[in-house]
Structures are given as C-alpha cells and as structure tokens.
Amino acid sequence: MPPPWVDDRIEYDQLRNLCTAIERPRINNEDLDRYQKTTEAHALHLRDEFCRQRHVSDDLAAAAIRMQLSHFLAGACKHAVKFSKSRAVLPEADGHLGFLDRSSKLTREVAEPAPPTPDAGPQALPPKPWFGAQEYVLFVIAPGSAFVALAFVVFLRHFEARQTPSGEDGGDLEVVDREPEGLDEDVYGAGIAALVRDSYSMIDGKGDFILRCSRLASSFLLMAFVVFLQIYLIKQMQALVASRAVTEIRSIYGRYEFVMYGADVTHNYLTPNGFPRGLDEKYFDASNFARLTGDEKDLACNIPFSQMQILVPILFIWTLTIVADLRRCGDLFVRLILATPTITSMKDAVVEGDGECEIIVGLTKEVKAMLLSTCMIPRWMIDVYLLWLGCRWLCATPNFGDLLLNSVALEFVVLLKDTLFIGVVPDRNKRATQSTLIQPWQKQERANYRVFLSAFVLVLVSFSWVFYYIYRFQAVLPDYKWDVHEVCKSYIQSITSGKSR
C-alpha cells in the first residue's frame, strides 16, 4: 500500500526527464550534441510519449543526474524525487491515449511542478500558421468549388446553344418539354416559398398584412436557426470530437514510428505538431513490431490510412452525401437566380397554376439577393466545411467499427433541415411548399450526351476529392510514411481469422 504522501496529480515532465536519462545510461558526444540541439519542448514530448514502464533505483537516479545531458535534464533532476531503497514504478502505457492521465500512484514525495514551455524563444513550439486548413477550406475550396460549378453550368448552356438541331446529324429525335417542378421539402424550400408567396401577396394586397409578415418572419427565423445550429454543432464537433481524435491518433502513430525506427531519437524527427516520424527508411525494422504491446498493435493496425480498402469507400460515400446536397443547392441557384427572369416588382412574380399551385415566373433583384445570402451561400459554405471536417474525423478514427458508425452519425447534421421541416413547420406551410413550383433551367430537353451522362461527372468529382484529401490535403497524420499496412497484414489476419491466437 503506498504511503500517505503519494500524490496522484504529479506532473509527468519531471519523471520523464529522469526516464530519458535512465533509458540511455551511456551516451556519446554525437548523441549529446543532438540532445543539446533538441528544443526543450520536443524533448519533453519524446519523454512524454515514449517513456516506458520501468523500475528506478537510487543508483540509476543518481547516475542520471550526474550525466548532465542538457540544461533542461539537469533542471528537472534537481527537482526530482528522493528515491528510497524501495523501487518506484514510472507511468505505464495506456491502450487508447498512449499513456495514463495520472502518475500511477508513484511512491514519492510531492515535487515542484516543471517549468512551463515558453511562448517565445528557441524552446517554444512553432506558431500556428495564420492561414491553416480551416481558412483554406472556407476561403479557397468553398468559393473555388462554387466558381467551378458555375463555370460548368455556363459551359453546358453554351454547348446546348451551339448544338445542331435534332435529326441533322442522325442524333436522337426525342425532345422532352420540361414542366415546372416543386421545391425541396425542407426548411430552405419552406423559406423560399414563404418569401415569394408572401411578398407577392403583400404587394398585391391579398390577405392580412400582419399575418403574412409573421409567417415570413417565422420561416426565415427557422431557416436562420438551422444555419446557426449547424454551425454550432460543427464547431463543437471540431473542438470536442475531431480534435481529440486527431490528437489520439497522432500519439498512436507517433509511438509506432518511434518503436519501428529503433526507439532512438537519432532515427526520428519531429513534425510541427511534435510527434516522431522515421528519419530514413534504412532505420525501419519490421521486427520491432513485436516490441509493441497488444493494445499498441491493435491501435496502430486500426489506423484508417493503413487499410485503404475500407477508408476509401467510406470517404467516398460521405463525400457523395455532401455532393448530393451541394447539387440541390446549385440547382436552386441555377433555377432561381440564373433561369428565373429578373423583374421590377414582385407583383408579377407568380402566376396561378392548376389547383393551389403557384409558379414562380420572376424575381426582383432584392429577392434574389436575399435568397442568395440566406439560403444558398450559407448552405454551400456549411456543406463544404462539413465535408472537410467529416473526412478529418473519419481519418482520425482508430477503429473500423467506429469508422462506420461515425460516417452515419455525420449525416444527421446535413439532414437537420429535413428533420426540422418534418417536425416543426406547420402543415399549411408544408402544403404551400409542395404547391410552389419553379421553372426548369431549360424549357425543352433534347436527348444528348449531356442529359444522359453529365450527372456521372459527380462520381468522378467525389473520387477525386477522396484521393486528393488522402494523399495531399489531410493533416491528421502529417508526413505519414505509409509503413503500417504491410507490417500489420499478419496481425490483422490473426485477429480476424476467428481462431485462438
């Protein structure tokens, strides 16, 4: 039973300073020079991640202090515990996070806390870049993808205009007259229907003005609520879920790299995030896989990048989910902003159709600007950002079962607009949404390659994004060496064979 002066809240740094020294009781001048050139923050991280469970005696502790590896080792040893003749146990490995969050009830006196890492100077960690992945997604990928999609639409319309009439070149003679189509039955569709119908009714003097204003306000408040709820959930997912998963998988892969490259700091370098990577393939030794614990092997072999046969399909399905929503958003933009004529008054915006149907035949500049700023731009930006965040979270999930579950869980953020439409929007507003029709972007549709095959371009776009993200854009595991798959082949076979090991 540990003495009463055991403190479970002791910082690891002082212990790992000592652990690093004990781990290498003999050190040559080259190693000493490398230690001295290593920044304190990076050295602390190496000790933090890779100091294994061991027994420490008085003699070893004294020897470590005498070695004077560097100024930060000496400083840490000065505050180190006075070990008794009974041996003390340093923190042991933890299967998921890499190491336990407490000091494993170390039998020692309470030591002074280690000095914090400075914010400036040669020992400080590299500053966070001012234009990181998030900014790149919001200010480059999102507007860039919108521009490319718009250019593609313009190209198709130009192609249709220059196409020879049907039958002159032996083409298909079938021409289909396109009819007005309904809005999507979601919160955005309800907001569009309310804006157009109520603006038309108020200008035309139909119905109660206050009632129309209240319905219009409630529809836009609900649409704004969906946007802010999605943004809030995305920020919380990024801060509490994805960021933690990224930190954990970096720790897992960092431990794997350090061991597989000989557990020697001279064989590794540190990424800007402070995690080890192998310096050269000549130091990689597959036999070092046996030095990992069972939990470490399991976690390393569950890194999604190590099993591309499951990661690529899941990322493709998730990407296709977002692309489908982007396509609906783009379709609204083409039909309402480009194809619908711009008029001077909402009095001419709607014509009566069959039954309760009303067909939108024109919109003013102000209404188009409102639709663009409230329905289309926020939706496009949220979808693109959620695509990146979902890929980041999925690639940081070190469990293939959780990988499948997380891909399903992500979709509920996209479907919030549909869920709130079903559960919150009044039935009268639902019927108004269903009976509000918008013009097609072409009155007549001629059978051609564009009609039959252009939508399949989205499959190529989705696959292109998946491979671009995995091989170029992902920052989950910077400088990933692609050195896990081959090593884990036999281990994966052993744990999936259904046989006793």
User: Which tens digit of pLDDT belongs to each residue from 165-191?
Assistant: 544 444 455 788 888 999 999 999 999
Cβ atoms 219, 228 nearer than 8 A: no
Edge-to-edge strands of the sheet including 358-360? 181-182, 436-438, 358-360, 350-352
Arithmetic mean of pLDDT, 209-228: 92
Name the nearest CA neighbour of 263 among 24, 15, 17: 24
pLDDT at position 71:
42
What value does the mean pLDDT take over residues 277-300? 92
Q: What is the pTM of this model?
A: 0.75
As given in the structure block, the two tokens for residue 313 are 């399909």
Q: Which of 181, 158, 170, 180 is nearest to 450 (CA)?
A: 158
In this structure, what token pair is assigned to residue 84?
Answer: 């008794």
CA atoms within 13 A on the CB side of 427: 0
Mean pLDDT of 199-204: 87
Tokens of 102: 């407490």
Q: What pLDDT score does 56 carry? A: 42
> What average pLDDT does the chain have?
77
End-to-end CA distance of the chain: 36
φ, ψ of residue 118 to 5 degrees: the values are -65, 155
